[in-house]
């Protein structure tokens, strides 16, 4: 990476590894950070590697977390565990998708203010989790490519064949009213192909 400065090439100024102080701002807060990078000895030019950028990204994430009163990664993990959810389940049931909580808890992605507040409420009222959605439908959809009826004994139950990749297996599912139940969860009948 070391080379001539792109802004003062005529005198061959070299870019050297170093640390310079920069001011980072987030709304009302400003923070001075020692930013690593390749810097020109003559001018202000600096070049940052992706590793260097992690320093400012981390400082900005910490400021935004404080200014917006977001949950910290360790708090998200603590509340998720308290709710008895795996990272994957939490992404399905609370929102964000299968990888969302892995990213929140590693600090890779900041939670929104809305998610932070929802988790705070669920921490105080964990029974509300039961009311916000149906747990297994998404799991089911992710893992099943096709479903076909094998045998139906309406209105009580039917045996269907599930296909995932090259595997298939039979499973009895139960019908309650016009809903289809599978593994304790209501299934959207539109996913079932006769």
x/- map, 13-42, Zn ion, by CB under 5 A: x--------------------------x-x
Beta sheet of 167-176, edge-to-edge order = 146-153, 157-164, 167-176, 179-182, 185-187
Of 42 and 141, nearer to Zn ion (C-beta) is 42
> Rounded distance, CA 126 to CA 118, Å?
11
Eight-class DSSP state of 44: S
44 CB-near residues (< 8 Å, 6+ apart): none
Part in contact with Zn ion (CB under 5 A); list of ranges 7-15, 106-114, 140-148, 149-157? 7-15
Q: Using the rule CB under 5 A, is 150 a contact of Zn ion?
A: no
Q: From the list 45, 52, 123, 139, which residue makes contact with Zn ion (rule: CB under 5 A)?
A: 45
Of 45 and 123, nearer to Zn ion (C-beta) is 45
SS3 (DSSP) at 117:
helix
Of 5 and 122, nearer to Zn ion (C-beta) is 5
Sign of the four-CA dihedral 55, 59, 60, 61: positive
Q: Using the rule CB under 5 A, is 139 a contact of Zn ion?
A: no
The contact set with Zn ion (CB under 5 A) reads: 5, 7-8, 13, 40, 42-43, 45
């Amino acid at each position: 990476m070391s080379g001539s400065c792109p802004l003062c090439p005529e005198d061959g100024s070299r870019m050297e590894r170093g640390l310079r102080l920069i001011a980072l701002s987030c709304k009302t807060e400003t923070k001075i950070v020692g930013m690593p990078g390749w810097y020109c000895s003559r001018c202000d030019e600096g070049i940052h590697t992706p590793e260097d950028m992690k320093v400012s990204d981390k400082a900005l994430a910490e400021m935004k977390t404080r200014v917006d009163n977001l949950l910290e990664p360790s708090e998200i993990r603590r509340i998720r565990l308290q709710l008895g959810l795996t990272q994957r389940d939490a992404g399905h049931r609370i929102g964000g998708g299968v990888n969302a909580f892995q990213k929140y808890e590693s600090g890779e992605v900041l939670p929104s203010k809305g998610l932070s507040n929802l988790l705070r409420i669920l921490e105080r009222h964990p029974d509300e989790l039961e009311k916000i959605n149906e747990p297994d439908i998404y799991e089911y959809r992710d893992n099943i490519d096709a479903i076909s009826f094998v045998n139906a004994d309406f209105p009580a139950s039917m045996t269907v064949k599930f296909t995932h990749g090259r595997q298939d297996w039979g499973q009895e599912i139960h019908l309650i009213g016009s809903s289809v139940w599978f593994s304790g969860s209501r299934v959207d009948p539109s996913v079932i192909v006769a």
